């Protein structure tokens, strides 16, 4: 009788252990999948970018450079940026904040944006130097998938620097690259 009870206990224990083991392996695989999903980074919500190109002010052409951060919020982005342009003896350093609307398409990613900035304007020929607000309105195209996860862009901005001695008008055309974080 003791052998039959012992055999039944061993069979029940084995069956229970086997069931527990299969359940544990299944949960382990699910947890491993969940952990892999947790470790795999989601698509970036912040890009850092640099650009260079041309500036056009006072019927003259010069160069422009800039750097920015793009913080993505669905179809809108917030874009703090620092820009510099120089034409002959005239230069401007600008710190701006833009709001960008990203137009959703399949291949090209166009956008429009606008905002305000603080301009540190200096014209050595006219001995004119001031710090004033400015308005930026523009747009561009993002080319995704050309270089791994980096984004190539073309950007154009119309700029108005508000001044007591007369507003300064011009535009910039820059090309650059964005690096997702």
Q: What is the DSSP letter of 119?
A: E
Res 164: pLDDT? 87
Q: Which stretches in the chain have pLDDT values below 70?
A: 1-44, 107
Res 32: pLDDT? 54
Polymer length of the chain: 181
pTM of the model: 0.73
Res 21: pLDDT? 47
CA distances from 164 to 70, 77, 91, 95, 145 (A): 32, 32, 18, 20, 46
Task: State pLDDT tens for residues 27-40.
Answer: 555 555 555 555 54
SS (HEC) of 144-167 = EEEECCEEEEEEEEEEEECCCCCC
Task: State pLDDT tens for residues 60-98.
Answer: 999 999 999 999 998 899 999 999 999 999 999 999 999
Q: What is the DSSP letter of 75?
A: T
Region for 161 from its dihedrals, namely left if φ exceeds 0, alpha if ψ lies in -120 to 50, beta otherwise:
beta
Res 5: pLDDT? 63
CA distances from 63 to 12, 16, 165, 166, 169 (A): 82, 76, 24, 23, 16
Cα–Cα distance between 149 and 94 in angstroms, integer?
29
């Amino acid at each position: 009788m003791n052998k039959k009870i012992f055999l039944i206990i061993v069979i029940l224990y084995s069956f229970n252990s086997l069931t527990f083991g299969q359940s544990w392996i299944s949960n382990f695989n699910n947890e491993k999948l969940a952990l892999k999903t947790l470790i795999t980074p989601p698509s970036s919500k912040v890009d850092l970018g640099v650009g260079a190109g041309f500036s056009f002010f006072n019927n003259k052409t010069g160069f422009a450079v800039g750097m920015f951060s793009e913080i993505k919020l669905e179809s809108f982005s917030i874009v703090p940026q620092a820009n510099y342009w120089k034409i002959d003896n005239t230069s401007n350093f600008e710190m701006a904040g833009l709001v960008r609307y990203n137009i959703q398409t399949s291949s090209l990613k166009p956008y429009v944006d606008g905002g305000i900035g603080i301009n540190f304007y200096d014209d050595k020929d006219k001995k004119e130097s001031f710090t004033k607000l400015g308005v930026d309105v523009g747009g561009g195209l993002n080319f995704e998938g050309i270089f791994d996860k980096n984004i190539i862009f073309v950007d154009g901005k119309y700029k108005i620097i508000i001044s007591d001695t007369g507003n300064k008008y011009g535009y910039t055309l820059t090309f650059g690259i964005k690096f997702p974080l």
